[in-house]
Amino acid sequence: MKISKTPLLVILSTFIALSVLTIAGASAVASGYTVKDIAIQPGYNESVMNFCWYSTVNSGCYVQVAKASEMTGSEFQVDAKSFLGSISAASTGYYSNKVIVTGLSPKTEYAYRVGNGASYSGVYSFKTGDGNNYNAIFVSDAQIGASGNISNDKAGWEKTLSAAVGRFNSTAFILSAGDQVDYFNESEYDAFLASPLLRSVPIAPTVGNHENLSSSALNSYHYFEPNESSEYGLTNAGGDYWFRYGNVLYMVLNTNNTDVSKHDAFIGQAVGENTDAAFRVLMFHQSIYCSAAYSALSATLTLRKNLYPIIDKYHIDLALSGHDHCYTRTYPMFGNVAQKSQTFDSEGRIVDPTGTIYVTAGSSSGSKYYDISKTQGDFAAESLQLYTPTFSNIEVNGNSLSVTTYRADTMKAVDSFVIVKSTSSKFYDVPSNAWYAPAVEFLASKNITTGTSSHIFSPNALLTRGQFLVLLMKAYSITPDSDNTGNFSDGGNTYYTGYLAAAKAMGIVQGVGGNRFLPDSSISRQDMFMMLYNALKLLNKLPTLTSSAIEKSYSDSFLIASYARDAIKILTSDGVISGSNGKIDPASLSSRAQMAQVLYNLLSK
């Protein structure tokens, strides 16, 4: 799969400095440059935002961004950052501008404007969220123009948006499951993107059948999707894409392309790159479990037959769709069978559901409704046709994900459910079935680790030398030294300082030369083993050497540094450490999960 992020990032990083210079020195103002239909969209993770807009002139493509706190009124500082993107021809008279903005901090308000480096839009703002605790709004089928009156549909859509974002005013982004517009008509796109709220809240749209009605690429001119595939789920309107927000992986399919083997490959790749995501959410337009006009159509049944085995295979937690203009929520589904027997906790939350919950949204604008069919499938836990626009609020809080659906007119909640994933006792990002879960749980129970932040262990993050030293000292109840005078010159004044001073005084660590320890650098496996060996030797706790040559059985044992050879010999002999695929990988870096396993092997004996 070709993913757009890498080449674009390269282009961006190459041109950021140039773009700033260009703006500072710009003198030629392009005549007639105007901007419309600015869409801000989730980037490939929560520190990134994608921007897309139409301009009337092909003359440069920039987003200028600054923290709101650094603005003077609506004036950017002269050194405010600009990001360069790419520009291409769109509908007659317009150009499509696409820019990726990176490096955004969480929970921070930013000001931005888009332009060609000389002329700009007005200044707008957005606020970034917190990946571990946020909400997203889920809608579908605004289908602007479906009623035959674009302005009525636009008003209905804006009313729903205002109600949703008004109630949940720190909404991280909007998920729209397709049919944003009715036909390939620019005035419908103008109407859908008109709300000022969409200058501040990112939107992740889906290609519905109505975005796909013609050979027109209008949809792809108007949006800039993160990680959009150039290989999977392709039609003229766009391809499959994914993004990550906190511990949730969001994957969006273009199911107008009915080659499900391609969607299978796409999901496999996205899941493979996000194995640590606690939740997997899949969005696609054509619902496969619905209650109204599309419930029994052969196209629905065919897509269901082809798609549910893939959704089962990847253990998708939540599948979001539309197309049916009628709200349906299923029981957890697996093998095309409703799994009605589930475990609920004392708060009524479903614990580790044994299937995928499918939610099909009603109309978000009121442009069109379909009546509930008289014959209902056994899959539906709730079917609602309220003949009024609805939306759902998705709350992600660590290991729980809730979905509550509201009438947009009265804001009455009409359906709600919560999924909770059981995790290790303390950490949201340590699934209870992970290979390292027993090790992390053991270390947490002994207060050897408290994680990298509240409820977060970061199992896949690289372990630093300072982190390992502190864990090692805590594991053997060695107290920090309050006297810092003999410490390494880079011992600093932080969580590891006292431990480093004590370890140096005791001879557990020697540093890297020049009286430095490099506490914030990643630690190699052999340096980790060496520190461990020194500590155990000092404490008279070295394991017994049972075989003097076991380290040589690894095919890469010649890579072991001479200073680490004794340590690796004795630790492999006792089974405290082991390699994988016949290799010991002495110079590779250690993840926090690997470290937990090594300490667990030692301490749990």
Nearer to Fe ion, 209 or 306 (CB): 209
88 close to 99: Cβ distance less than 8 angstroms: no
Nearer to Fe ion, 119 or 367 (CB): 367
Q: How far is the CB of 44 from Fe ion (least distance, A)?
A: 27
Cα dihedral 240/246/247/253 (nearest 10): -10
C-alpha 523/C-alpha 590 separation (Å) is 6
Nearer to Fe ion, 188 or 317 (CB): 188
**Helices H / strands E in the chain, number of each:** 12, 25
Q: How far is the CB of 25 from Fe ion (least distance, A)?
A: 49
Nearest to 325 by CA among 374, 372, 284, 257: 372
Please give the backbone phi and psi of residue 280, each rounded to the nearest 5 degrees, phi first. Answer: -120, 120
Q: How far is the CB of 286 from Fe ion (least distance, A)?
A: 7
What string marks each residue from 294 to 323 as x (binds Fe ion by CB under 5 A) or -? -----------------------------x
Nearer to Fe ion, 179 or 527 (CB): 179
Q: How far is the CB of 175 from Fe ion (least distance, A)?
A: 16
Strands annotated E in 237-292: 241-245, 248-252, 279-286
Residue the block writes with tokens 């992390």:
440
Nearer to Fe ion, 50 or 212 (CB): 212
488 close to 504: Cβ distance less than 8 angstroms: yes
C-alpha 510/C-alpha 503 separation (Å) is 9
The footprint of Fe ion on this chain (CB under 5 A) covers a number of residues equal to 4
474 close to 535: Cβ distance less than 8 angstroms: no
Q: How far is the CB of 233 from Fe ion (least distance, A)?
A: 16
Q: How far is the CB of 294 from Fe ion (least distance, A)?
A: 8
**Closest-approach residue to Fe ion (CB):** 323
C-alpha 509/C-alpha 507 separation (Å) is 5
- Site for Fe ion contains 325 (CB under 5 A): no
Nearer to Fe ion, 363 or 464 (CB): 363
Nearer to Fe ion, 129 or 208 (CB): 208
Please give the backbone phi and psi of residue 319, each rounded to the nearest 5 degrees, phi first. Answer: -115, 125
Q: Which residues in the 508-567 window bind Fe ion by CB under 5 A?
A: none
200 close to 163: Cβ distance less than 8 angstroms: no
Token pair of 55 as six digits: 């301009």
Token pair of 545 as six digits: 């050497």
304 close to 287: Cβ distance less than 8 angstroms: no
137 close to 129: Cβ distance less than 8 angstroms: no
Q: How far is the CB of 67 from Fe ion (least distance, A)?
A: 40
What string marks each residue from 194 to 233 as x (binds Fe ion by CB under 5 A) or -? --------------xx------------------------
Q: How far is the CB of 210 from Fe ion (least distance, A)?
A: 6
Q: Which residues in the 340-379 window bind Fe ion by CB under 5 A?
A: none
Q: How far is the CB of 178 from Fe ion (least distance, A)?
A: 6
Q: Which residues in the 274-293 window bind Fe ion by CB under 5 A?
A: none
Nearer to Fe ion, 160 or 360 (CB): 360
Nearer to Fe ion, 300 or 424 (CB): 300
DSSP secondary-structure letter at 228?
Answer: -
Nearer to Fe ion, 4 or 212 (CB): 212
535 close to 571: Cβ distance less than 8 angstroms: no
C-alpha 278/C-alpha 248 separation (Å) is 6
- Site for Fe ion contains 179 (CB under 5 A): yes
- Site for Fe ion contains 240 (CB under 5 A): no
Q: Which residues in the 66-105 window bind Fe ion by CB under 5 A?
A: none
Binding site for Fe ion (CB under 5 A): 179, 208-209, 323
